[in-house]
A = this chain, B = another copy of it.
Amino acid sequence: MDTKVILTEKEMPTSWYNILPDLPQPLPPLLHPGTKEPTRLPPPLFPEALNEQEFSTERYIEIPEEVQEIYKLWRPTPLNRAYRLEKALDTPARIYYKYEGVSPAGSHKPNTAVAQAYYVKKEGFKRISTETGAGQWGSALAMGCMFFGLECKVYMVKVSYYQKPYRRSMMETWGAKVVPSPGEDTEIGRRILAEDPDSPGSLGIAISEAVEDAFAHDDTKYSLGSVLNHVLLHQTIAGQEAKKQLEKIDAYPDIIVGCIGGGSNFSGVFFPFVKDKIEGRRPDLQVICVEPEACPSVTKGPYTWDYGDVAGLAPIVKMYTLGHTFIPPKIHAGGLRYHGMAPIICHLHHLGLIDCRAEHQIPVFKSAVVFARAEGIIPAPEPAHAIKVVIDEALKCKQSGEKKNILLALSGHGHFDMGAYDEYFSGRLEDYEYPKEKVEEALTHLPKV
């Protein structure tokens, strides 16, 4: 076969795949953080269409034409056969990767950012507010809003705002207004600054500011970049493409590997395949989620009810959690530093349909370098976690002689993470053990349901 499997724009899927109606058991409900009763997403924060998608029982949801047109700026994305990596590992396994780094933002995030901006615009609103840490999600949403002429206000954690100006410049290039959080634009920001004018900010504070902004402005909605069902739904464009691409070369994966932080990138890739496992066509399909040892919600956390956010204002969901007050160590894979996990991923794991592993940061970077030296692409630290497991599995095949097909969800490139590679090469990269005591403490703060 060729190195890449290419789809034409006409072959691009025109619907997202909604896994909800195919789940063997229904997903536990969202609970209202106050009443603890089943609830929808707070309507002042989310457009109606996304609230519908969140609970939809339709198996396929049409991708609006306007969204398809924008996807086509960079989609369908390539699926590559990693010939050179296979050779470097001397493995009989066949390794494929679905590469989302060709989007202008360099990751999978625009798949949902563009869709969310579309629905906000369609329902007549003018602005979206959101939070961002290092800027990965903020930049994708800035781009999405730009395409539909929406204002975008990004509350960026103050320490990143000043230390990582590049993603901020990216957001500004795409027309977003970016402010350091905490800041003077919200009540909660002003309150925190009054107490501590030098507050470095946190993702929790930035979320609170963005939510307050959306509640305070009638023309504004709030947007989340992962975890929620509708976000995972929008990412399924990638997995459906990958499935078509593999069909073209008569291949089907034995193992699918991806990293999980909130869970959206990997869900997008494996949902269309795990459907075949749920329905009995591919009982042996192995889906491996990879999370950091420093923040191992699925591998180490209990499956229980917890708040989706640090402040305890978001709906309560049933998930594997390290406790919503847990602050993960500062690993470079910022996108994997979340205390919980997308409810659908947790549900599938609880049902025994998917596996999960946790990996340490230093071997993860070692694997990333092996990949970059074989395939050229320098991966972001998040999918580098998945690469570690792909290499492990390929080496197992070398031992056993099995010619397994391994599919890697390569969610983005590392162009904005070269400082982390620099730390790795200079020997300054720290590793982090599982912070057991901090997690045990955080788990004492779970909500009573």
The reply to whether B378 and A170 contact each other, CB–CB distance below 8 Å, is yes
A428 → chain B closest CB, angstroms: 12
Kindly list chain B residues whose C-beta atoms are within 8 Å of the C-beta of A105.
376
Considering the complex, which residues of chain A in the window 400-422 have a beta carbon less than 8 Å from any beta carbon of chain B? Answer: 413, 415-416, 418-419, 421-422
Please determine whether B4 and A175 come into contact, CB atoms closer than 8 angstroms.
no
Asked whether A169 lies within 8 Å of B2 as measured between CB atoms, the reply is no
- Within 8 Å CB of A60, what residues of B? none
Indicate with 1 or 0, residue by residue over A1-29, a CB within 8 angstroms of chain B CB atoms: 01110101110000000000000000000
Q: Contact at A73–B174, with CB atoms within 8 Å?
A: no
**Contact A146 B373, beta carbon cutoff 8 Å:** yes
With A6-B8, A69-B3 known to touch, is A421 a contact of B102 (CB < 8 Å)?
no
Please indicate the chain B residues that have their CB under 8 angstroms from the CB of A168 in the complex: 422
A172 to B168, CA, bound (A): 26
Q: Are B73 and A375 in contact (CB under 8 A)?
A: yes
Contact A415–B106 (Cβ < 8 Å): yes
Contact between B421 and A173 (Cβ–Cβ < 8 Å)? Answer: yes
Interface: A165 (CB within 8 A): yes
A72 and chain B: residue at smallest CB distance: B3
Residue count of chain A within 8 Å CB distance of chain B: 47
Max chain B C-beta neighbours (<10 A), residue from A70, A165, A373, A378 = A378
Contact A416 B419 (CB under 8 A): no
- Report how far A168 CA is from B167 CA in the complex, Å: 19
List residues of A (56-88) whose CB comes within 8 Å of B's CBs: 69-70, 72-74, 80, 84
Q: Would A73 and B80 count as touching, CB distance under 8 A?
A: yes
Rounded to whole angstroms, the CA-CA distance of A416 and B146 in the bound complex is 22
Let me know if A251 is at the binding interface, CB within 8 A.
Answer: no
Q: A2, B73: Cβ atoms under 8 Å?
A: no
Enumerate chain B residues within 8 angstroms of A419, measured Cβ to Cβ. Answer: 165-166, 169
Which of chain B's residues have a CB closer than 8 A to the CB of A369?
A: 173
Contact of A9 among B2, B72, B102, B147 (CB under 8 A): B2
Nearest CB on B from A88, distance (A): 11
A442: CB under 8 A from chain B?
no
Whether, in the assembled complex, A362 has its beta carbon less than 8 Å from a beta carbon of chain B, the answer is no
Cβ of A30 under 8 Å from chain B: no
Evaluate contact between A10 and B2: CB separation under 8 angstroms.
Answer: yes
Q: Give A74's nearest chain B residue, CB to CB.
A: B376
Known: A169-B421, A169-B425, A372-B174. A377 touches B104 (CB 8 A): yes
Q: Which residues of B contact A373 (CB under 8 A)?
A: 146, 173-175
Note all chain B residues with C-beta closer than 8 A to A70. 376
Closest to A102 in B: B102
Q: Residue-by-residue, is A309-324 near B (CB-CB < 8 Å gives 1, otherwise 0)?
A: 0000000000000000
* B372 adjacent to A72 (CB under 8 Å): no
Do B166 and A73 have beta carbons less than 8 Å apart? no
Asked whether, in the complex, the Cβ of B73 is within 8 Å of the Cβ of A376, the reply is yes
- Cβ of A358 under 8 Å from chain B: no
Interface residue A143 (Cβ < 8 Å from any Cβ of B): yes
Q: Which residue of B lies closest to A82 (CB)?
A: B73
Residues of chain B lying within 8 A (CB to CB) of residue A84: 73, 147
Decide if B2 touches A166 in the complex (CB within 8 Å).
Answer: no
Given contacts A166-B419, A172-B421, A422-B169, is CB(A376)–CB(B3) below 8 Å? no
Supply 6 further A-B pairs (C-beta < 8 A) apart from A166-B418, A170-B378: A3-B72, A165-B418, A168-B422, A172-B422, A173-B418, A174-B373
Q: What are 10 sample pairs from A and B whose C-beta atoms fall under 8 A apart?
A: A2-B72, A3-B69, A73-B376, A74-B376, A104-B375, A166-B419, A170-B421, A172-B425, A173-B425, A415-B416
Closest 7 CB pairs of A and B: A104-B376, A166-B418, A169-B418, A3-B72, A169-B422, A415-B415, A2-B9
